[in-house]
Amino acid sequence: MTERFGLFINGAWTDPANAKRFETINPANGAPVGSFVSASAEDVGRAIEAARRAFPGWKETPPPQRGEILRKAAGYLRRHKDEIGTIVSREMGKVIAEGKGDVQEAMDFVEYMAGEGRRLLGETVPSELRSKFCMTVRQPKGVIACITPWNFPTAIPNWKIAAALVCGNTVVFKPASSTARCAVEVVRAYEEAGVPPGVLNLVTGSGGVVGTALVTDPRVRAVSFTGGVETGRDVYVKGAEGLKMVHLELGGKNPVILMEDADLPLALDGVLFGAFGTAGQRCTATSRLIVHEKVFDPFLKMLTDRLDAFRIGDPVDPKTDMGPVASRDQEQKILSYIEIGKKEAKLLYGGRKLTGGAYDKGFFIQPTIFETAHGTRISKEEIFGPVLSVIKVKDYAEAVRVANDVDYGLSSSIYTRDVNRAFRAMGDLETGITYINAPTIGAEIQLPFGGVKNTGNGGREAGTAAIEEFTEIKTVFVDFSSKLQKAQIDSESVA
Ligand code: UN1
């Protein structure tokens, strides 16, 4: 029997009567992982109401105490890292080292935010008038909807939840359906840590029902969403109707630029990890390799030789280099892009669904490389799979022009030994994150994460930027002069 899970509302796991249910599966072999409630709009309403009622008490809880709960939640993740990492690997399909890395990233961030409970810094600023004190303090926004993707099923929810909670908000969490089992572990960490009833609520179910109910409910003050551009736009528009703050973290078409003076063996490891790590299913995945013509042939030979030795299979087996893609939908989408690529570009490697034996039960796609001119669909659209478009260029200027000529702007990278060029690239590349001599993936939680153009709408997650995302600034003026002082008018006489 598939293990059944309920919704987490007002501090209790509940299984609404006559609820519809859905199952998640292991994308490596189709085995069921868990059964979950397909929440109705009424269920979502109950979760929002619980969060609304819990808000005043949580807002009044001293932030260091809120941080203490986060510290305990991080402890749960630490104690169960291997077990949860295995659940991530089984339910999402990333290799076990990355499954554990997902949990590590979650716990790192929760711990980092726990410390934020003792900061939540405001500013003190001089006044233009005498006997007057000016400062800013941070206040929570209220009920926040956290809507998260399947590719980092413990890390990304925690980026949002931990930051929202330490700032004093209450949360309704809607995870991607295909990784609902991972979401249960995320919530259990806070439950065991003693988060008060209603402060964190979990509603599983479809975007159409649960997502829409969250984004349109006037009791929800802000929405933090990570996912695809189309859904993100819809969330933004619906949120705008209610004048909600909507934070979007969307796609990428991230380039590695390989210059003629690059350390090629170093770049080889970087490109393999960037393009085929997590089977290319990171927002930050290296989906374009922009190569100087002088090193094009030798580097492509090095790349394809290494892929010959790539082991593709069960992600839980530590010897596996690349697991399946996350779902049948993903598989279909990636394969259809590969077909587009075969028409508009030159297939250099891979290009097929893997079949036969154990492969038949899962969603396995070969690592795939196309040589393409800049401007083809595969070179500009986000595929979110193990498909790398390689583009030949003649110099740095062309490399930057190609790198920037896409709708996205999350991450970018350049491999070069020329320090002047490296510094120039930091300014020239139109992305929120730039790596020098490292691939486009692997951001660390203590720095801001996010992008420009269609990657988002200007905000950043993680680092101290997370605090900006989840607080309202209140500006406070204290006049202790015992008389009316008029800013801009009385202050003029000073000069
Ligand atoms: C994502 O793909 O949405 O930088 C997040 C990285 C990870 C996070 C990626 N730390 O690759």
Q: Tell me the per-residue pLDDT of 304-324, one tens digit each, with 9 for 90 and over.
A: 999 999 999 999 999 999 999
Q: Can you give the pLDDT at residue 493? A: 59
Distance from C-alpha of 96 to C-alpha of 358, rounded to nearest angstrom:
18
pTM: 0.97
Atom number, ligand 1, closest to the C-alpha of residue 284: 2
**7-250+456-476: CATH, from 3.40.190.100, 3.40.50.880, 1.10.510.10, 3.40.605.10:** 3.40.605.10
Q: Has residue 2 got a pLDDT over 60? A: yes
- Ligand 1 centroid to residue 441 C-alpha, Å: 6
Q: What is the mean pLDDT of the chain?
A: 97
**Residues of each domain in the chain carrying CATH 3.40.309.10:** 254-436
| CATH number, domain 254-436 | 3.40.309.10
Residue 5 — very low, low, confident or very high, per pLDDT cuts 50/70/90? Answer: very high
Q: Has residue 471 got a pLDDT over 70? A: yes
Report, in this order, helix, strand and coil percent for the chain, each rounded to 5.
45, 25, 35
- Ligand 1 centroid to residue 334 C-alpha, Å: 19
Residue 491 — very low, low, confident or very high, per pLDDT cuts 50/70/90? Answer: confident
Atom number, ligand 1, closest to the C-alpha of residue 282: 2
Which residue of the set 105, 191, 249, 461 is catalytic? Answer: 249
When pLDDT is averaged across residues 411-428 and rounded to a whole number, the result is 98
- For this structure, is 167 an active site residue? no
- Ligand 1 centroid to residue 434 C-alpha, Å: 13
Which residue of the set 283, 371, 382, 461 is catalytic? Answer: 283
**Residues of each domain in the chain carrying CATH 3.40.605.10:** 7-250+456-476
When pLDDT is averaged across residues 295-299 and rounded to a whole number, the result is 98
Q: Can you give the pLDDT at residue 495? A: 52
Phi, psi of 73 (to 5 degrees): -65, -40
- For this structure, is 283 an active site residue? yes
Residue closest by Cα to atom 8 of ligand 1: 443
Atom number, ligand 1, closest to the C-alpha of residue 444: 10
- The secondary structure of residue 132, as a DSSP letter, is E
What residues flank ligand 1, with Cβ below 6 Å? 105, 151-152, 282-284, 441-443
Q: Has residue 138 got a pLDDT over 90? A: yes
Convert the pLDDT of each residue in 241-274 to its tens digit.
Answer: 999 999 999 999 999 999 999 999 999 999 999 9
Distance from C-alpha of 45 to C-alpha of 203, rounded to nearest angstrom:
10
120-126 contacts at long range (C-beta below 8 A, 24 or more positions apart): 120/63, 120/166, 120/167, 120/467, 120/471, 122/473
- Ligand 1 centroid to residue 385 C-alpha, Å: 14
